[in-house]
Structures are given as structure tokens and as C-alpha cells.
């Protein structure tokens, strides 16, 4: 059966990376139709809604989305021209990708970070006798995507009820004394048992299915007792009752950030709440080449899944006459989609083509050449986004 994918390019470089990725999917023989879903700053300016209802309806119907990137804040006032008018109407811009996550409860976020052989951006370290080593990173991070510090429950200068609740907490009295409410800004870190259990189950289930021997919980349970502490307790229960063959490792986010630069090869599946999951996934992404390589999937309980690179819209490059950014993060995200759809053979062929292109090293985007992004990088030998996609397509023909 032919599938329909909701293609949501968004803003800036989101458009070009998605476009080139669809070209690669077509060349690889993945049979699908694409319906374009409007999302982003552009639609806020045009119609006062960055996530139009029609896009929600498209996703409800087709269930699978490929998303480029959006601009959360415009780069200059010119782009902002319409916004004051909209704000005068009482409309406030809020990030449509966060909106999408909340609307469909895309609470499971998966971010794999795997080393490509020959990537000049790979992390290296010194081993015994000063020898240079290039450890192979093969980590999949499971990040709770809707709760915690990103749940949006926040106050500045809190009202009576909130202030009364705070000042009745013994720790508040002890640590903050009689601080006046005007002096307070508060962001809550709310974990639910349901949300926490779901991300833990997803992580353990993935580890079991894919032959990883351990799951590492990366939180801070000895300090953040109620939230991290609950997650740790639930992790222990789930491991004991449902996944006795898989080890549970418990690390603290701060120590983990150090260890990932010392021995990243020791880690397999990592699970964390929203904020720490965000941090640890960017940390590991840095070891395998950074934003040009970091892909992700987000999924709900109800079979809605959206696949996207973790980078943003990079507005400063969006207006270049020829696009220079690396499409691989988007291509890898599409491979995650293919695997989700059980199109494993197509996914494997694309991954292999990408791996060979990287290993040969003849065609590299500016980031892979350690250049600073600018319009001249092409004159200095960097490949454009389209040239990178072209060479992947050429490679696919040999697969
Ligand atoms: P960004 O990820 O757009 O870009 C940061 C820098 O990373 C770029 O200037 C570029 O040097 C590099 N980079 C990003 N993607 C690359 C690629 N594919 N190839 C090569 N280099 C790449 O982050 P920034 O500049 O902080 O944010 C720009 C806009 O994007 C903001 O409005 C931000 O809110 C939004 N954003 C959206 C996200 C999303 O849609 N999921 C995620 C992150 C940021
Ligand atoms: Mg991030």
C-alpha cells in the first residue's frame, strides 16, 4: 500500500533539507505521497497561527510526519513586521513544534547518536601512551518530551495561592526565608507516573529488541528527590519485573557529561527526563559530528510519529542563493521513519549510501570541513546541500 507522509518543511533551512531528503527517499524506491503541512513563522505572519488547524488534521489523518525546522524567533525586525499587529489583536507567538508535541502528546523522543567511520568531526581522545583513539559511539537517547521543566508551569511574581503554598513548604522557609513574591521566578519540574513509565518502558523495550545489555538512567535522584527519585524507583521496578535480563545503570547528569567525553563507547541506551534528555543528547551529538548529523523521532501513544533533525532553521543561511547546510541529520531522521514503517531494507540502503559517502570523504558540506558557515564555503571546496544529496543518490544506485 502506498503511504501518505505529511511533509512539514517549516522555515529557513528546514525547507531545503526536507526537499533534498524526499528526493533521496524517492530515489531509494520508497513509495509514498507527500502532503505538505504548513507550519512555522511564515504562517504566523500570514494568518496569526504558526500551526494551522489544517496541518493538525493532516497529521491526524496520515499519522506520519517528516518535519524540517521552524524559527521560534525571527532573526530581524523585517521578518517581525507583521507580528506587532498580531500581538495587538491579542495573539502571542508560541513555538509550533512544541505545540505539536503537546497537541498529539508526542511524549517519547528518541535520539540516536552513532559514529560514522571517517567523519572528520568524530570525537578523538588520547589513550595509553598518548595514542590517539577514535571510540565508536553507538548510543540511543530516550528523552521524555512533554513534562518536566518544559511543561510550561511557571510564575514570576506568583499570586496568593502559589505564594501561600510555597511559604508553607519547610524547605522554602529554610532556604529562601521571607523573600518577597516580586523577587521570585519559578519554573516547575513536574513528572507524572504515567509519562515517566512510558519513557522507561520505551527505553527498556528498545534495548531488549535491539540487543543492548544495559539501560542508563541519567538523572540526579539523590538531589532532585521527588522527580528524579520517582524515575529511579520506577526504573528499578520495571527492570526487575519486566526486563531482568537488562542491567539498569544509574548515573547523574553532571557526571554523565564528563564520562561521555572519557568513555562514550560504554553507553548504549540512555533514558532521561525532558531537560536532562535534551542536554545529554546534545552532548553525545557533539561526539558524532554535531547538528548536521543529529536526528530524532517523536511519538505518541496513539500511533502519531514525527521525524525531524534536532537542528533549527539556521536563519542566517536560509537566504543564500545556494544552500550550504548538511542534509544528513534530516536524511537520518527519514531513515528512522522508514524503520518505524518497517521499511528496514530501504532504510539500510540509504544508511549504507550515506556511510560510504562520508567514509570516502570526497564530498563534504562545510561543517564536515570545519569551516565557518558563509556564502564562500562553496568556492572553497565545500559541497552544497544539493550536491551532498546528489552524491548520496549516486551511491544508492550501486546498492
Ligand atoms: P540552529 O540549529 O538553527 O543553528 C545553529 C547553527 O548550527 C547554525 O548557525 C549552523 O552553524 C549550524 N547548523 C544547524 N543546522 C545545520 C546543518 N544542517 N548543517 C550544518 N550546520 C548546521 O539553531 P539557532 O541558530 O539557535 O536557532 C535558529 C532558529 O531555529 C531559532 O528560531 C530557534 O528557536 C529555532 N530552532 C528550532 C528547532 C526546531 O525546529 N526543532 C530546534 C532548534 C532551534
Ligand atoms: Mg536541544
pLDDT tens, position by position, 233-255: 999 999 999 999 999 999 999 99
Q: Residue 339 — pLDDT band, cuts 50, 70, 90?
A: very high
Backbone angles phi, psi at 14, to 5 degrees: -55, -40
ipTM of the prediction: 0.98
pLDDT at 194 over 80: yes
- Is the pTM here over 0.90, yes or no? yes
Mean pLDDT of 145-154: 92
Residues 325, 373: Cα–Cα separation, whole Å = 8
Choice among 28-37, 150-159, 218-227 with the minimum mean pLDDT: 150-159
Q: What is the set of domains in the chain, with CATH numbers?
A: 1-106+324-399 (3.40.718.10), 154-187 (no CATH)
Ligand nearest to the CA of 276: 2
Measured from the CB, is residue 22 less than 6 Å from ligand 1? no
Residues 303, 60: Cα–Cα separation, whole Å = 10
Considering the chain, what percentage of its residues have pLDDT values greater than 90? 87
What residue ranges in 226-321 does DSSP mark as E strands?
Answer: 247-252, 269-272, 295-299, 305-309
3-state secondary structure 62-76: HCEEEEEECCCCCCC
3-state secondary structure 328-378: HHHHHHHHHHHHHCCCHHHHHHHHHHHHHHHHHCCCCEHHHHCCCCCHHHH
What pLDDT does 173 receive? 94
Asked if 43 contacts 74 with a C-beta cutoff of 8 angstroms, the reply is no
What pLDDT does 190 receive? 97
Measured from the CB, is residue 48 less than 6 Å from ligand 1? no
What pLDDT does 270 receive? 98
Mean pLDDT of 8-15: 96
Measured from the CB, is residue 329 less than 6 Å from ligand 1? yes
Residue scoring higher pLDDT (297 or 95): 297
Return all residues near 108 (Cβ < 8 A) that are at least 6 apart. Answer: 142, 144, 145, 198, 199, 202, 298, 299, 300
Residues 72, 28: Cα–Cα separation, whole Å = 33
Residues 312, 316: Cα–Cα separation, whole Å = 11
Mutation to probe ligand 1, out of 41, 121, 312 (largest number of atoms < 8 A from CB): 312
Residue scoring higher pLDDT (162 or 92): 162
Q: Residue 73 — pLDDT band, cuts 50, 70, 90?
A: low
Measured from the CB, is residue 106 less than 6 Å from ligand 1? no
Mean pLDDT of 45-55: 91
pLDDT at 1 over 80: no
What pLDDT does 60 receive? 97
**Neighbour-count burial for 211-246, b at 16+ CB within 10 Å, e otherwise:** ebeebbbbbbbeebeebbbbbbebbeebbeeebeeb
pLDDT at 151 over 70: yes
What pLDDT does 95 receive? 85
What pLDDT does 76 receive? 52
Return all residues near 10 (Cβ < 8 A) that are at least 6 apart. Answer: 18, 39, 40, 67, 68, 69, 70, 71, 97, 313
Identify the CA nearest to 298 among candidates 189, 143, 194: 143
DSSP 172-183: HHHHHTT--GGG
What pLDDT does 72 receive? 81
What pLDDT does 80 receive? 55
Measured from the CB, is residue 207 less than 6 Å from ligand 1? no
Asked if 135 contacts 166 with a C-beta cutoff of 8 angstroms, the reply is no
What pLDDT does 46 receive? 85
Q: Residue 152 — pLDDT band, cuts 50, 70, 90?
A: confident
pLDDT at 87 over 90: no
Mean residue pLDDT across the chain:
94
Q: Which atom of ligand 1 is nearest to the CA of 373?
A: 11
Choice among 235-239, 251-255, 314-318, 348-352 with the minimum mean pLDDT: 314-318
User: What is the DSSP pairing of strand 32-36 with strand 247-252?
Assistant: unpaired
Choice among 45-49, 279-283, 342-346 with the minimum mean pLDDT: 45-49
Q: Which atom of ligand 1 is nearest to the CA of 95?
A: 34
Q: Residue 48 — pLDDT band, cuts 50, 70, 90?
A: confident
- 187 SS3 class: strand
What pLDDT does 2 receive? 87
CA angle 36, 105, 275 (to 5 degrees): 105
What residue ranges in 70-137 does DSSP mark as E strands?
Answer: 108-114, 125-126, 132-133
Mean pLDDT of 34-59: 93
Return all residues near 195 (Cβ < 8 A) that are at least 6 apart. Answer: 107, 144, 146, 147
**Cβ burial, residue 263 (10 Å; 0-12/13-18/19+):** exposed
Asked if 354 contacts 331 with a C-beta cutoff of 8 angstroms, the reply is yes
Amino acid at each position: 500500500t502506498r503511504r501518505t507522509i505529511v511533509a512539514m518543511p517549516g522555515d529557513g533551512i528546514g525547507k531545503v533539507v526536507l526537499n533534498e531528503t524526499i528526493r533521496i527517499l524517492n530515489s531509494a524506491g520508497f513509495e509514498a505521497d507527500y502532503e505538505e503541512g504548513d507550519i512555522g513563522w511564515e504562517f504566523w505572519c500570514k494568518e496569526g497561527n504558526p500551526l494551522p488547524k489544517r496541518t493538525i488534521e493532516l497529521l491526524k489523518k496520515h499519522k506520519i510526519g517528516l518535519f524540517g525546522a521552524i524559527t521560534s524567533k525571527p532573526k530581524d525586525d523585517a521578518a517581525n513586521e507583521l507580528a506587532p499587529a498580531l500581538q495587538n489583536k491579542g495573539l502571542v507567538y508560541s513555538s509550533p513544534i512544541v505545540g505539536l508535541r503537546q497537541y498529539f502528546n508526542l511524549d517519547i523522543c528518541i535520539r540516536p547518536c552513532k559514529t560514522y567511520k571517517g567523519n572528520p568531526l568524530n570525537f578523538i581522545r588520547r589513550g595509553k601512551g598518548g595514542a590517539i583513539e577514535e571510540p565508536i559511539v553507538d548510543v540511543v537517547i530516550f528523552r521524555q518530551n512533554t513534562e518536566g521543566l518544559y511543561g510550561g508551569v511557571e510564575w514570576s511574581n506568583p499570586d496568593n495561592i502559589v505564594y501561600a503554598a510555597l511559604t508553607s513548604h519547610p524547605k522554602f522557609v529554610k532556604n529562601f526565608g521571607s523573600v518577597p513574591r516580586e523577587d521570585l521566578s519559578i519554573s516547575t519540574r513536574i513528572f507524572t507516573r504515567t509519562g515517566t513509565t512510558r519513557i522507561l518502558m520505551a527505553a527498556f523495550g528498545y534495548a531488549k529488541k535491539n540487543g543492548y545489555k544495559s539501560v542508563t538512567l541519567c538523572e540526579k535522584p539523590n538531589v532532585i528527590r521527588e522527580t528524579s527519585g520517582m524515575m529511579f524507583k520506577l526504573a528499578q521496578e520495571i527492570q526487575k519485573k519486566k526486563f531482568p535480563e537488562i542491567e539498569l545503570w544509574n548515573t547523574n547528569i553532571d557526571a554523565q557529561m564528563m564520562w561521555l567525553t572519557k568513555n562514550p563507547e560504554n553507553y548504549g541506551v540512555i533514558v532521561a527526563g525532558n531537560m536532562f534528555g535534551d542536554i545529554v543528547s546534545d552532548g553525545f551529538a557533539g561526539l558524532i559530528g554535531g547538528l548536521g548529523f543529529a536526528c530524532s523521532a517523536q511519538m505518541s501513544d496513539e500511533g502519531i510519529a514525527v521525524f525531524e533533525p534536532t537542528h533549527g532553521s539556521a536563519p542566517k543561511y536560509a537566504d543564500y542563493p545556494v544552500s550550504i547546510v548538511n542534509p544528513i541529520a534530516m536524511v537520518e531522521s527519514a531513515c528512522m521513519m522508514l524503520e518505524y514503517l518497517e521499511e528496514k531494507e530501504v532504510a539500510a540502503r540509504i544508511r549504507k549510501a550515506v556511510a560510504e559517502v562520508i567514509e570516502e570523504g570526497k564530498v563534504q558540506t562545510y561543517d564536515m570541513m570545519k569551516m565557518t558557515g558563509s556564502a564562500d564555503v562553496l568556492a572553497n571546496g565545500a559541497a552544497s546541500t544539493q550536491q551532498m544529496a546528489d552524491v548520496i543518490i549516486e551511491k544508492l544506485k550501486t546498492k
